[in-house]
Structure 1
C-alpha cells in the first residue's frame, strides 16, 4: 500500500505540475516533480536499516538559517523493482547500490540521465556499514550539491519567466538579475532598490544596494552585518517606529563562495523589526562590480508567520544564480 500511495502521489505531481519545459533540450523529455523533492531508490527493508536511516537523516537534515526546523528536502522512497518510467521523470534521484564487487564507497552524479533538468546521484558501497559511515561523514557535501542544483534550475526558470525590471537595475547598479514574479511593489532611492509582494502571509522581498569599494574588509562578517543593519534599517520601516535589523539571538552563518566565476560573501540568518514582532529568514550576498568599483549587496527575505518557509526562500535564492556582471560596462 505504501508503494501504491507513493506512486499515486508522484503521478499526480507529474500530471498537475507538468514538465519543467524550461530545462528541456533536444529529444529528451523534461523532468517533473515538486521542487526540493528527492526520490530514493532503495528497498523497504534496507530503508529501515542503519544505512537507510543515515540517508534519510541526511536528506531530512534542517535547512540552515530558518526560524523553525524545516527539512532540506521532501523524501520519497521506492523499491528498485518499482522504479518505472514514471518515477524516472523525477528531478532529483538517489540510487543505492550495495555490493561486495565494490572496493570502496563512492558517490557519483549524472545530469539528465533519464530526463532533462534532472540530477541522479548514485551511491555505491561494498557493504552497508561503510555506506552508513560515508553518509554520516559527507552529509554537507551531498546536501550542498543537491541544493545548488535545485537553485540553478530555479535560476534558469527565473531568467525566462520573471518580470524583473532588468533595465532599471542595470542602469542603477551595472549588472542584471531576475527575481520571482509578483514582487511588483517597488521602492527606489539613491543606490537602493526594494521589490516586495507586500503580502501579510507569504511576503517575499528582494533588496539591492551598493556602496563604494574601498577595502576587502567590507566582506568580513561583522562588516556585512553592520552595513545590512544600517542600509535596510534606514529604508525598511515598520509599525511602532521599528526598523529592519539582523537578529542577534542566533548568529548569522557566514561563508565565501563563487558562482559563475564571481566571488561573493554570504550571510544567512534571521531578520527582525526592532520594536515589533515581525521576523523571518534572510540571505544576503555581496560582491564587487569591477566596472563601477562598487560593492553590490543583494538581500532576499521571507515573512510567513506560522507557515513553512523553505520553498519561499529557495525560490528567492534562485535569484543569486541569475546575477550577471558584464566584462565591461555597456
Structure 2
C-alpha cells in the first residue's frame, strides 16, 4: 500500500511521455472550489485528514454565512477509478518513499490540476502539507479562475459598448448574462439577476470606476471611504433621499495585497448594507494602482442573495475582476 502513491505518479508520467503523440483527454468535471482528496481512509480520519480539513475548511472572510475556502471529498487510492480521475481538482497525499510536493496539469482530463504531497511517515506528510498549504489552495483557486474565464469567454459581451470602460481604457471578460443598470462614462454598473432556487430574487453586480491617485501610501486605508462616497452618489435605496449603499459599520473589511494586470492592487472583502434599510450582502473590491495615469482603477462586485450561500456568486465576480486589463 505504501508504494501505491508512487505507482500512481509513475503511471501518469508514463502516459504523459508519448513524444509528439497527442492524447485526447476527456473533459473534467466538478464544481469550482471543490477538491477530491485521494488518500487512505485511515489517513483521512487521522492527522493528515485533520490538517487538510483545517486548511481547506478555513472560513472565507466577508460572507454573511460561514462558508469554507474549499469544499473537499475523499476517496481511497483503490477507489480512485476511471470516473474519479476526471475530477478537475485532485489532491493525492500520503506516505511514500521520499518527501515530494509537485503539481501536474491535465493528467487524466482537461482542464485538471493534481497536487501530489508525499513524505516517509504521517508526521512528515502533515509537515509537507502545512508547508505548502497556501500554494496548494492558490493552485486550485487559480485553476478554477482560469476555467471560469474560459467559459465566460465563450459567451462574453463586447465590452467596447460601454462608455465607461472605453473612457477608462480598460477591458473585462463579462458574460452576457449581465445587463446594464448605469453607464455614465465615469461609472459602470452591471447586474445579473439570479435565476436559480431561492436566490432568484437576488442579483450579482459589477461596478467599475476610477478616482485620482493622491497618496500611494494611503490607498489601502482609503478604500472604505471611497466606496462609501460612490455608494452615496450612484447606488440609492428604495428612497434615494435617505437610503444608499454603505460599508457595513459593524463588520471591519479585510484588505490584502495582490496584483491585477501586473499592477499593484488591493483586494478588499467585506459586507455592504443600505443605509436606513434592511438590504445587505458581501462585496469584493479590487483597487488597482495605475501609476501611468495617476489614478486608481476600481472593480467592485457585490451580491444580494438572501438566505443562500454566496461563495459561488462571489467567485464569479472574482474571476471577472481578474480579467481586467488597463491599456
Same fold by TM-score greater than 0.5: yes
Aligned to 1:73: 70
Instruction: Write the mapping of 1:212-223 to structure 2, written as runs, cut at 5 A.
Output: 212-217=212-217, 219-220=219-220, 222-223=221-222
Q: Which moved more, 1:152-161 or 1:305-314?
A: 152-161
Aligned to 1:229: 228
Task: Encode CA deviations 1:36-61: one digit per residue, 9 max, x unaligned.
Answer: 21111112222111212221222222
Kept in 2: contact 1:111–1:118 (CA 8 A)? yes
Paired residues, number:
298
Equivalent position SS for 1:67: coil
Offset at residue 260 of structure 1 (A): 4.2
Kept in 1: contact 2:265–2:286 (CA 8 A)? yes
Offset at residue 84 of structure 1 (A): 1.6
Equivalent position SS for 1:147: helix
* Structure 1 position 254 matched with structure 2 position 255: yes
Equivalent position SS for 2:27: coil
Kept in 2: contact 1:217–1:223 (CA 8 A)? no
Aligned-pair RMSD on alpha carbons?
2.2
Aligned to 2:271: 270
* Structure 1 position 204 matched with structure 2 position 204: yes
Aligned to 2:188: 193
* Structure 1 position 108 matched with structure 2 position 102: yes
Work out which of the residue numbers 91, 103, 126 in structure 1 matches 2:88. Answer: 91
Offset at residue 73 of structure 1 (A): 2.2
Offset at residue 197 of structure 1 (A): 2.5
Instruction: Return the TM-score normalized by structure 2.
Output: 0.83
- Residues in 1 aligned to 2:61 and 2:253: alpha-carbon distance in whole angstroms: 10
Aligned to 1:320: 321
Kept in 1: contact 2:94–2:122 (CA 8 A)? no
Offset at residue 198 of structure 1 (A): 4.7
Kept in 2: contact 1:155–1:321 (CA 8 A)? no
Equivalent position SS for 2:67: coil
- Residues in 2 aligned to 1:157 and 1:290: alpha-carbon distance in whole angstroms: 32
- Residues in 2 aligned to 1:63 and 1:247: alpha-carbon distance in whole angstroms: 17
- Residues in 1 aligned to 2:231 and 2:131: alpha-carbon distance in whole angstroms: 39
The verdict on how the C-alpha distance between 1:164 and 1:57 changes in structure 2, with shifts beyond 3 A counting, is farther
Offset at residue 65 of structure 1 (A): 1.8
Aligned to 1:300: 301
Kept in 2: contact 1:247–1:271 (CA 8 A)? yes
Work out which of the residue numbers 129, 132, 137 in structure 1 matches 2:123. Answer: 129
- Residues in 2 aligned to 1:167 and 1:180: alpha-carbon distance in whole angstroms: 14
* Structure 1 position 153 matched with structure 2 position 151: no
Can you give the 5+ residue segments of structure 1 that lack an aligned partner in the other structure?
Answer: 1-24
Offset at residue 180 of structure 1 (A): 3.6
Q: Which moved more, 1:257-266 or 1:269-278?
A: 257-266
- Residues in 1 aligned to 2:281 and 2:124: alpha-carbon distance in whole angstroms: 39
Task: Encode CA deviations 1:120-166: one digit per residue, 9 max, x unaligned.
Answer: 11111121122234445654443233223212322232233223534
Kept in 1: contact 2:115–2:136 (CA 8 A)? no
Instruction: Return the TM-score normalized by structure 1.
Output: 0.83
Equivalent position SS for 2:124: helix
Kept in 2: contact 1:159–1:322 (CA 8 A)? no
Task: Encode CA deviations 1:186-219: one digit per residue, 9 max, x unaligned.
Answer: 2122410001135563310000011233331452
